[in-house]
Amino acid sequence: MSAVHLEIRGRLAEIRLDNPARLNAFTVGMLDQLAAHLDRIERSPALACVLLTATEARAFCAGADINGWGDLTPAEFARHWVRDGHRVFDRLARLARPTIAVLHAHAFGGGLELAAACDLRVMAPRATIALPEAGIGIVPGWSGTQRLARLLPEPVLKEMALFGRRVPAERALQLGFAAEVSDDPRAAAEAIAAGVCGLSPRAVEIAKSMIHAARGEDRGAMIEALGSAAIAASADRAEGVGAFREKRSPEFPGT
């Protein structure tokens, strides 16, 4: 049974976590389901924005399900569990469409790392964020010490990862981690998404790529993607492809 759902309404896509028995904690199956939904979204150019939501009232996401990794060998834990989470969360971070995480409740561990992979976060006043991994003898494994280090001041990140402190919504807003705190975070996120729908999809996509390249989010791939897009529109590219297909020497115009 799916625990990560995808719903498309016009130009808006919604990915919804639905594993209430485990407070939406991630399993291997949920990672696979999320990856499949991201592939579908990436191949749907009509979409303008993506919301990431959850159905469980008590938590947006409690992290990674300990039943999914607790019995793994050290090699399995590092090679598969950690890498699989990185692969999927990186896919979310690099999605061409703008993404908004709707934190109606707490986001801990992997749940916080999931929200950090989105472009914006809207939080309810009661929501908190935390990295509780040290309390069970592990460390953040899905970018909690890497991507979050670019989004939060170092002392704050250390408060969470080293001292186990929670950061409430209002402080997250002051730190710039949350874009907005609202009694109805879903409605607030939908209002933000509505604004995106009136913008140029291609301009938004390229602006996102440029910002990510500047802050080191998959910089090499972003630079090559932007360069490839520029050359794909050139007369040289058209001549090169045409000459290859016609089995002749190309005569590049240089434009």
* Annotated active-site residue in 14, 56, 133, 217: 133
- SS3 for 151? helix
7-28 pLDDT, tens digit each: 999 999 999 999 998 999 988 8
246 counts as catalytic:
no
Domain at 4-196: CATH architecture: Alpha-Beta Complex (3.90)
Q: Where are the beta strands (DSSP E) in the chain?
A: 4-9, 12-17, 49-54, 59-61, 99-103, 106-108, 120-123, 128-130, 167-168, 180-181
Q: Can you tell me the mean pLDDT for 100-118? A: 96
Q: Are 105 and 59 in contact (CB under 8 A)?
A: yes
Predicted model pTM? 0.88
- Out of 7, 42, 56, 113, the active site residue is 113
What is the C-alpha to C-alpha distance for residues 209 and 225, in angstroms, rounded to an integer? 9
Are 21 and 70 contacting, i.e. CB atoms less than 8 angstroms apart? no
Active site residue 239: no
CA distance 235 to 253: 7
What gap in Å lies between CA 174 and CA 43, rounded to an integer? 36
Gap between the Cα atoms of 241 and 2, Å rounded:
44
Strands 49-54 and 128-130: unpaired
- With 0-12 / 13-18 / 19 or more C-beta atoms within 10 angstroms meaning exposed / middle / buried, residue 228 is exposed
Confidence of residue 6 (pLDDT cuts 50, 70, 90): very high
Higher pLDDT, residue 248 or 40: 40
